[in-house]
Structure 1
């Protein structure tokens, strides 16, 4: 286990879907995802919000600029009975097209069709689960809120189901 992170891990991942409906995926060189197609993802850094971490990780791993559209979900678990492992998964809109693979951590990065991912034995379990959920439901971004000055937030965003807010 990675003891330098303590017993609570917080990460973010980005699902980037291009104009052709292809998903941006990466093949990592390490961990349980070694050689598997998975989402660009990584740990949240100090002073960073979850959606910012997802955007940064996509940029660092693939060179693709993106912006948050919605929160797709949360993956949470406990490793070896002691480490809380949590990852927020965001839907991101691509702002660029040219992939530049971060070769220190990755074997490859590519935009692949859903069919290609479904048929590839190296597609990760999480990606297979997301593919089975199509069409994906999401929680939309609501920005510009201030929960109150006494809290001292320097950044604050909410992700909620939009149709619920309109009722």
Structure 2
């Protein structure tokens, strides 16, 4: 069993700048070490998934992004023991200056889709999303209140 238990909930963000370039990072660890991937990380117990991806992008790259919507879910089971789930969000930014979190990342920058396709260190997910762009984005609906009896401190619907 991992320190996160046997069910992992993570978020990943495809952040595009005004020129359509993608914000990509190279982790210093994990199966994606030294590969271009999306900024990503685990959801904390005190946040919603949409809050988590905004925090992760800011922490890893210094970029403040604006949410567009949910693109999909990447899910798998590791060694028949751990359910590994990542919600993939589409975001945009008008910032171009990237500040990398040196503890976790070796590189972070904006790259064109063509540059990413030509780079052998682009991850499978990056390549798939370029070749199969999401058609319909799900929106995050805020301001709903299911009632005091549930004791939610934050409540969002993604549809």
TM-score normalized by the length of structure 1: 0.90
* Residue in 2 that maps onto 1:55: 54
Superposed displacement of residue 95, structure 1: 5.1
Q: Is contact 1:28–1:35 with CA below 8 Å preserved after alignment?
A: yes
In structure 2, runs of 5+ residues without a counterpart are: none
Superposed displacement of residue 147, structure 1: 2.1
Superposed displacement of residue 4, structure 1: 1.1
In structure 1, runs of 5+ residues without a counterpart are: 161-167
Asked if residue 122 in structure 1 is aligned to residue 109 in structure 2, the reply is no
Asked if residue 46 in structure 1 is aligned to residue 52 in structure 2, the reply is no
* Residue in 1 that maps onto 2:88: 89
Matched position secondary structure for 1:5: coil
Superposed displacement of residue 97, structure 1: 2.6
* Residue in 2 that maps onto 1:11: 10
Superposed displacement of residue 44, structure 1: 0.7
Superposed displacement of residue 136, structure 1: 4.0
Superposed displacement of residue 134, structure 1: 2.4
* Residue in 2 that maps onto 1:78: 77
C-alpha separation in 2, matches of 1:135 and 1:105: 28
Superposed displacement of residue 119, structure 1: 1.0
Matched position secondary structure for 1:139: coil
* Residue in 1 that maps onto 2:19: 20
C-alpha separation in 2, matches of 1:98 and 1:74: 28
Q: Is contact 1:26–1:109 with CA below 8 Å preserved after alignment?
A: yes
Q: Is contact 2:23–2:38 with CA below 8 Å preserved after alignment?
A: yes
* Residue in 2 that maps onto 1:165: none
How many residues are matched? Answer: 159
Instruction: Please tell me the root mean square deviation across aligned C-alpha atoms, in Å.
Output: 1.3
* Residue in 1 that maps onto 2:150: 151
